[in-house]
Amino acid sequence: MLDHDANLLAFGAILRHSPVVVTADEVAEGSRTAAAIAASQFGSVLKVSEDGRLSFYKGGHCVWDL
């Protein structure tokens, strides 16, 4: 987690969230994706998968994937 000035606040934090509503075109892959979708409702999220794939979430949706 980073603050607005890009200072590192936490790494590998466990994010607790309420159940995530996923649209039909956006299927949740697992707990990391569900956490990214939920957290992105409060700010921008960069998700790094174990395979090195990067995904950017904002407003509860994936904006881009690399």
Q: pLDDT digit string (tens) for 1-27?
A: 788 888 888 887 777 766 666 666 566
Single-letter residue type at 45: V
- Of 30, 27, 22, residue with least CA distance to 49: 30
Q: Per the confidence metrics, is the pTM higher than 0.95?
A: no
Strands, sheet with 61-65, edge to edge from the N-terminal-most edge strand: 45-48, 54-58, 61-65
Contact 16, 34 (CB under 8 A): no
- Please report the pLDDT score of residue 20 as a whole number: 64
* pLDDT tens digits for range 47-65: 988 888 999 999 988 999 9
